[in-house]
Chains A and B, each alone.
Chain A
Amino acid sequence: MRVLVVEDIALLREKIVEDLKRAGFTVDSAADGAQGLYIATEYPIDIAIVDLGLPHVSGIDIIRSVRAKGLDYPIVALTVRERWESKVEVLEAGADDYLVKPVHAEELSARLKALLRRKTGWTQAELCCPPIRLNTSEQRVYIDEREIILTAYEYRVLEYLILHAGEVVSKTRLTDSLYEEDTDRDSNVIEVFIRRLRLKLDPDEVIKPIETLRGRGYRFTLERTNP
């Protein structure tokens, strides 16, 4: 999952970026409104965190511009103001959630995950596609009651696929959600991850959780049990 963080205070931005990376997100960051608006509208991001008190282009303007362009990914606004007046204004502008600084790492990633789940139709923190069960808050994967140990990247690929279970996810989308804009990409890497996931999840090729659609991408085939 690819997150954009727009925050002008370097210390705070770095801390948020660090926390989110640890929570398993791919993070792009911007230090001012103009850069933030550019990334928010030009990059394939899944969710954005926008500080309201930015220089040049204010946070609320970024949110309005993003919504005006028809982009509907979730946006979390960060602010120092706690009054309802500003909460209402921000949510009316198109933000989906609202966090008052100082921000706690756990709370932030929990909110982001909740918003992302809700966006893809999930409501619980645990994503169940029997026999596979993925706990997003603990970042653990189970088949029946047996835990499967995955690397960080393998987990992220699986999470993305399960969140979009039933949808076709292209290779580019997967790459975008995994890597920051300026890293070197090799599309073969995705194929490697998928192969390894298939091996770990389904060594005997019984459940066949990930389907390859030639030239289009991948699809997670197992049925969701919780909505």
Chain B
Amino acid sequence: MSSSLRSRQLVSGFSIIVVGILVLGVLLHLSLYERKKEESGQALQSTALTLLGYLEFDHGYFKITDNLAEEAANFISNGRLDTSGERERFAYIYDLTTQQVVWTSHDRNNISDSIRAVVAYFDFDKIREDEELKNAKPKSIVRILQPVNKPNANGTPSNWDNSNLATEYQVALQRFTYSYGDYIFVVAQSLEAVNKEMSDLRVRFAVLFFVSVVLILIAQLASSFWVVSPIKEFEEEVHSIQLGEQELITDDYPEELTPIKNTINALISHESGQKQRYKDSLDDLAHSLKTPLAAIRSQIEVGNQMPERQQEVLTDIIGQVDYMQEIISRQLRKAMVTSHSAIIISQPIRPILLRLAETMKKVYRDKTLEIRILVDDYAKCRLDAEDLMELMGNLISNACRFCDQLVEVSAHIREGMLIVDIDDDGMGFPSENPSKLLQRGIREDSKSEGQGIGLAVSTEIIAAVGGRIELLVSPQVGARVRLHLPI
């Protein structure tokens, strides 16, 4: 599952969005709930205030002021504070001393047990201790309270039951302390309505959540197809290269894929160049071996027919075998040119030159020789280390062989190429057609290992990296081999 880029992107993106929506939903829900409660609490406070306006206290009794009776009745029934809102909404006054309800909104004047039975009671012992309530005159305070299962010790109405109590009530409380007694004015409403509203909201949210998850999933799938499609396309192109239907990756791809495309193309070009070189050298080998083989064959026939010439024939055959040996060793050297990776790091040439200079002193120790390496560490070129060694080895060795006593290697950078000059103070190149020395091919080369093979191999190495080789005259009037190497 996690092995596919698309599924990774899908899973990670999807889970981030889903978790985000959930957290957002919970936060929204909580703040909405708080606001609802606050709103309904304010409404409750204002109801309490209005209701108090209708009430008067007369010698230890509460009652509705006579001339406001009708208005109060309307207010109570509109606010569903009468029995129609049984245990949903109600208002009453509780006497803390006698622990009894002394007035209710259900029946304004006759307080009977049956009336007391329809209200919900709260833990008034605790409410009595509430410091905020003691000091909250003249305004009521709002609390969320849970009803008690039994109103109180001695004042429990005989027919009181706790069957249809709500679990939570929002209560506006106000305390009056007179010489006649200590009273609490209670206006309460069940929170069930709010809770139900919230749970409805939760259901709606869940549905919405589910729908949006499905939509997001679809969008994610679509976007992942869109994002991953270049990779898919890339893969298909590579596949068709494998099938031989095309040679290089040609389409345009997003910039992240471009380096991969370029690298693959470089590898392919390198490989096909390699193939061509293999083919060429195999061709050369086969063709150049044919001639000496034919010669040997005819010599053997001569030997068979004329036994007296056998010695001569044998000498000839040995000559041909030596020639074949030489052809093979040349081809081996050539075959090794650039038989390595396509991606080459630019590297300084000085260390290799110094090693070669030491080696040359050993190889040409019978010669009084001075090798000057006038190259600093900034001279770098993009050439495989082994090829660089082979190239410089061939050219410096040639210079050492043909010089009088001085070989000089210098380098500079021009037009984005590293120019390396290998100079000697010898006879210089043959004046007519020196470029022939650079040409690849075996048969026309002379047998002596002169400039021929070294220069031909060097030319191949340089051509493989897109460089150039020139034969010039050195300031010491000897030969100068000038290399143009990629940096």
Given contacts A87-B393, A114-B366, A118-B365, contact A92 B332 (CB under 8 A): no
Does B386 belong to the interface (CB within 8 Å)?
yes
Please encode chain A, from 64 to 106, with 1 for each CB lying within 8 Å of some chain B CB and 0 for all others.
Answer: 0000000000000000001111011001100011101010000
A88→B329 contact, CB < 8 A:
no
Task: Report A181 CB to chain B, min CB distance, Å.
Answer: 30
- A96 contacts across to B, CB distance below 8 A: 362
Number of interface residues of B (CB under 8 A): 21
Contacts of B336 in A (CB 8 A): 83
Known: A114-B366, A118-B365. A87 touches B359 (CB 8 A): yes
Which residues of A have CB within 8 Å of B358? 91-92
Q: Do A88 and B365 form a contact, CB below 8 Å, given A82-B333, A83-B333, A83-B336?
A: no
A-B pairs with beta carbons under 8 A, tally: 47
Contacts of A84 in B (CB 8 A): 356, 359, 389-390, 392-394, 397
- Beta-carbon contact of B389 and A85 below 8 Å: yes
| A98–B329 alpha-carbon span in the complex (Å) | 16
Tell me if A221 counts as interface (CB < 8 A to partner B). Answer: no
Cβ-closest chain B residue relative to A83 = B390
Shortest Cβ gap from B355 to chain A (Å): 5
Residue pair B393, A100 in contact (C-beta under 8 Å): no
A123 interfacial contact with B, CB 8 Å: yes
Q: Is B363 an interface residue (CB 8 A)?
A: yes
- Which residues B384-440 have CB closer than 8 A to chain A? 385-386, 389-390, 392-394, 397
Q: Which residues of B contact A85 (CB under 8 A)?
A: 385-386, 389-390, 393
Given the complex of chains A and B, what is the CA–CA distance between A82 and B337 in angstroms? 12
B residues whose Cβ falls under 8 Å from a Cβ of A: 325, 329, 332-333, 336, 355-356, 358-359, 362-363, 365-366, 385-386, 389-390, 392-394, 397
With A84-B392, A97-B362 given, name 16 new contacts (CB 8 A): A82-B332, A83-B389, A83-B390, A84-B359, A84-B390, A84-B397, A85-B385, A87-B359, A87-B363, A88-B359, A91-B362, A92-B359, A97-B363, A100-B329, A102-B325, A123-B366
Question: What are 26 sample pairs from A and B whose C-beta atoms fall under 8 A apart?
Answer: A82-B329, A82-B332, A82-B333, A83-B333, A83-B386, A83-B390, A84-B356, A84-B392, A84-B393, A84-B394, A84-B397, A85-B385, A85-B386, A85-B389, A85-B393, A87-B363, A88-B355, A88-B356, A88-B389, A88-B393, A91-B359, A91-B363, A97-B363, A100-B329, A102-B325, A118-B366
